[in-house]
Amino acid sequence: MTDLRFSTMISAMLSIALVAFSFVASLAAQGSDWPQWGRDASRNMVSPDKGVCTDFDAGKFVGTTDEIDAKTTRNVKWIAKLGSQSYGNPTVANGRIYVGTNNDSARDPKYKGDRSVIYCFDTKDGGLIWQLNIPKLGTGKVSDWEYLGICSSPAVEGDRVYVVSNRCEVMCLDVNGMADGNQGYQDEAQYAAGPGNPKIEIGAKDADIIWVTNMTDECGVFPHNITCCSVMIVGDRIWTSTSNGVDYGHVETPAPNAPSLIMLDKKTGKILAEEASGCSQRIFHSNWSSPAYLKTESVELAIFGGPDGCVYAFKPTPKEDEDGFNVLDEAWRFDCNPKEYRVDEQGKPRKYATRKGPSEVLGTPIVHAGKVYAVIGQDPEHGEGIGNLTCIDADGKEVWSYRKINRSMSTMSVVNGLLFAADYSGFIYCLDAQTGKEHWVHDTSGHIWGSTLVADGKLMIGSEDGFLTIIPATKEYSADDVKEIDMTSPIYSSPIVAQGVLYIATHTHLFAIEQSK
């Protein structure tokens, strides 16, 4: 096939749109980093930062291009161009912001076509520091869907970045990229090219891989659609779900004996333990949920939203099974699907992917004040359906549940005794975190893929329609107080705040929002 990409337009993009541009001299805000998905292992989507700017204009495109006209923005510190699809939620640590996307707006001409990317930008101006650019698996939609890019949110600790790749790998990267030389893993040139292809020369603005653990080779995982967990760092260990899932036919899991959750040594990538609770024999679709960590005075548990609709709690110390393998010790599991979601009035099993049928745990369960909050949901391709929000105590017992919510992929926020949640149908909920009592519900009219963020007294969330909805994070609600900002492109990730700056990734651009001087 003739490649009809219009080279002149690409050149224009490379020379203009891909250069992040600082728009305004901004007021430096003080605050904290957001170094991993959910900010910390509680995954509670709340930032303590103050002075967050929510009065801004995201600008307009120049004609029918994908370049945003700087003159049409307001209170935008800088904008960095991403690919065409960006599901990887940004994280910020030590003056650098990391975000997953695809290669559709290639920043380096040696990387051509559909690939997956993590960009490391400077938070001062959005300038590129380095990128990890990964070839596709070549399986097609079943295991590495075209153009999905990196959906994992990088976790940063010290001088290391941990991320899950589209190739079903857990990776450890150097925060400095290749600028300080190649450390650890040495075959980046072959990795970038893909197995069997001529090597790609690696430069100073490429990622430095420290180690790679392939979950298919090591555990037999059959990833479904995309591997996308945001890993959790606890001590010397990192935890990740595997994205083990169903086959192309969506009925059967080809790898029923592969684990859905594993724990690795963060220094070496060696797998230390795996879930052996049989999750993979009960997978509805895939396991994409990211783990959280519950720590009280009496217990420490890794919390995992299962692909079968249960929340699992595993003790952090593995035990050896009868075959000599280290397995995670299951402390408890809680079925987030009410019985009537699994069986109908006649006692017959309800089919998955039907409106009234059961769902997996897709959003990340969060931990707050010794309790776990979880929602159930499904791949948006399955449409809307009934959901359930459950509050579970540290012993795995239900505290309360709220069934008015629809299917949800979102991760929640608890602050000041209020729980904020969202569902795929586009509703935002404010509940009493202790009792589950509903304070208010807001309809955004658009599908919601991302998660709530509460910062500086405001709740923020993006929608597929491309709007950022901002609502006072109080139990009182007035439609007059709801604000919608047109972000120019669909939003499939979640806003974060770090060092007082609001970051929002649309499908195509990463915005840094800060009040102008």
Partner 1 sequence: MFSTPSASVLFAVLGAAFLPAPRGGMNSGFGFLSACSAQDGAAGTQTKKPAVGWTSWRGPSQDGSSREARLPKSLALETPGSWSIDLAGRGTPTIADGRVYALGYEGSGDALQEVLVCLDETSGKRIWERRFTDFLSDVIYSRYSIGSPTIDPETGNVYVLTTPGLVCCFTRDGEELWQHAMGEEYGRLTFPNGRTGSVLIDGPRAILHVVNSGWGSQGPARDRFFCFDKISGVSLWSSTPGGPPKDNTLGLPVVADVDGRRVLYCGLGCGNVACLDARTGDTLWRVQVSTGGLNSSLLLVPTKVDGEGPGVRDVIAIHGSENLDSSVIGRMSRLRHPSPEALGDATKLPIILDKAAEVWRADLVAFSSSPVLVGQHVFQTTLTGDLHCVDANSGKELWHVKLAADQIHASPVFGDGKLYVPMNDGSFHVLMPDDAGPNVLQKLQLEGNCLGAPAICNGRVYVHTTAKLYSFAGGRGEASAVDHRPDPPSDGVGVRLQVRPADHCARAGETVAYRVVALDAKGRVVDEAVEGAKFSGAPTAGVTWTEDGAMEIAHDATPCAVTMTVEAKGLRASARLRIVPFGAFEDDFENAKLAPGADGVPVGNPRPFWVGAGKKWEIREVAGEKVLAKTLDNPLFQRTQSFVGHPDQSKYSMQVDIMTEGNRRILSTAGVIHQRYQIALKGNHQELEVSSNMERFKKVVPFKMKPGTWYRLLTRVDVAADGSGVIRAKAWPRDEPMPDAWTIEVADPVAHTSGAPGIYGFAPQSRFRVYLDNLKVLPND
CA distance 40 to 232: 8
Nearest to 342 by CA among 333, 329, 352, 332: 352
SS (H, E, C) 413-458: EEECCEEEEECCCCEEEEEECCCCCEEEEEECCCCCCCCCEEECCE
Let me know: does 218 contact 265? Beta carbons within 8 Å.
no
Does residue 258 belong to the site contacting partner 1 (CB under 8 A)?
A: yes
Task: Mark the segment that binds partner 1 (CB under 8 A) among 28-36, 139-147, 154-162, 364-372.
Answer: 139-147
Minimum CB separation of residue 38 from partner 1 in Å reads: 27
Nearest to 246 by CA among 288, 218, 274, 277: 288
Q: Which position among 149, 318, 426, 495 is part of the footprint of partner 1 (CB under 8 A)?
A: 426
- What token pair was written down for 178? 């290749």
Strands (E), 50-127: 57-61, 68-74, 76-81, 91-93, 96-102, 115-122
Minimum CB separation of residue 307 from partner 1 in Å reads: 16
Dihedral sign (CA 154, 156, 159, 163): negative
Let me know: does 356 contact 349? Beta carbons within 8 Å.
no
Does residue 240 belong to the site contacting partner 1 (CB under 8 A)?
A: no
Let me know: does 449 contact 507? Beta carbons within 8 Å.
no
Q: Which position among 27, 70, 353, 441 is part of the footprint of partner 1 (CB under 8 A)?
A: 353
Minimum CB separation of residue 1 from partner 1 in Å reads: 3
Minimum CB separation of residue 217 from partner 1 in Å reads: 8
CA distance 421 to 429: 5
**Chain residues 9-28 in contact with partner 1, contact rule CB under 8 A:** 9-10, 13
Dihedral sign (CA 481, 487, 490, 494): negative
Nearest to 45 by CA among 375, 344, 384: 375
Does residue 194 belong to the site contacting partner 1 (CB under 8 A)?
A: no
Dihedral sign (CA 402, 405, 407, 413): negative
State the CB neighbour count (10 A cutoff) for residue 30.
Answer: 9
- Helix (H) or strand (E) holding 141, with range, is helix 141-144
**Chain residues 377-416 in contact with partner 1, contact rule CB under 8 A:** 382-384
Does residue 108 belong to the site contacting partner 1 (CB under 8 A)?
A: no
Q: Find the radius of gyration of the CA atoms of the chain.
A: 22
Does residue 61 belong to the site contacting partner 1 (CB under 8 A)?
A: yes
Binding mask 477-506 for partner 1 (x = CB under 8 A): ------------xx----------------
Q: Which position among 108, 157, 247, 265 is part of the footprint of partner 1 (CB under 8 A)?
A: 247
Minimum CB separation of residue 254 from partner 1 in Å reads: 4
Those residues whose C-beta lies under 8 Å from the C-beta of residue 36, and which sit 6 or more positions away, are: 91, 153, 154, 155, 156, 157, 230, 231, 232, 233
Q: Which position among 42, 76, 77, 104 is part of the footprint of partner 1 (CB under 8 A)?
A: 104
Minimum CB separation of residue 381 from partner 1 in Å reads: 9
Does residue 105 belong to the site contacting partner 1 (CB under 8 A)?
A: yes
Task: Mark the segment that binds partner 1 (CB under 8 A) among 60-68, 155-163, 198-206, 478-486.
Answer: 60-68
Tell me whether residue 290 or residue 425 sits nearer to partner 1 (CB atom).
Answer: 425
At 468 the three-state DSSP class reads: strand
Task: Mark the segment that binds partner 1 (CB under 8 A) among 228-236, 252-260, 302-310, 434-442.
Answer: 252-260
Minimum CB separation of residue 324 from partner 1 in Å reads: 12
Q: Which position among 65, 197, 317, 416 is part of the footprint of partner 1 (CB under 8 A)?
A: 65
CA distance 349 to 342: 6
Minimum CB separation of residue 368 from partner 1 in Å reads: 30
Let me know: does 105 contact 83? Beta carbons within 8 Å.
yes
Let me know: does 121 contact 204? Beta carbons within 8 Å.
no
Q: Which position among 22, 32, 72, 139 is part of the footprint of partner 1 (CB under 8 A)?
A: 139
Does residue 274 belong to the site contacting partner 1 (CB under 8 A)?
A: no
Does residue 51 belong to the site contacting partner 1 (CB under 8 A)?
A: no
Task: Mark the segment that binds partner 1 (CB under 8 A) among 49-57, 211-219, 298-306, 363-371.
Answer: 211-219
Q: Which position among 29, 163, 219, 229 is part of the footprint of partner 1 (CB under 8 A)?
A: 219
Nearest to 163 by CA among 94, 81, 98: 98
Residue 382 has what DSSP assignment?
Answer: G
Q: Which position among 197, 317, 445, 478 is part of the footprint of partner 1 (CB under 8 A)?
A: 445
Task: Mark the segment that binds partner 1 (CB under 8 A) among 49-57, 80-88, 265-273, 491-499.
Answer: 80-88
Tell me whether residue 13 or residue 362 sits nearer to partner 1 (CB atom).
Answer: 13
Minimum CB separation of residue 305 from partner 1 in Å reads: 22
At 461 the three-state DSSP class reads: strand
The site for partner 1, by CB under 8 A, has a size of 60
Q: Which position among 25, 251, 324, 480 is part of the footprint of partner 1 (CB under 8 A)?
A: 251
Task: Mark the segment that binds partner 1 (CB under 8 A) among 51-59, 310-318, 439-447, 468-476.
Answer: 439-447
Where on the chain is the footprint of partner 1 (CB under 8 A)? 1-2, 4-6, 9-10, 13, 61, 64-66, 81-85, 104-105, 114, 137-140, 143, 146-147, 216-217, 219-220, 222, 247-252, 254-258, 351, 353-354, 382-384, 425-426, 445-447, 464-465, 489-490, 507-508
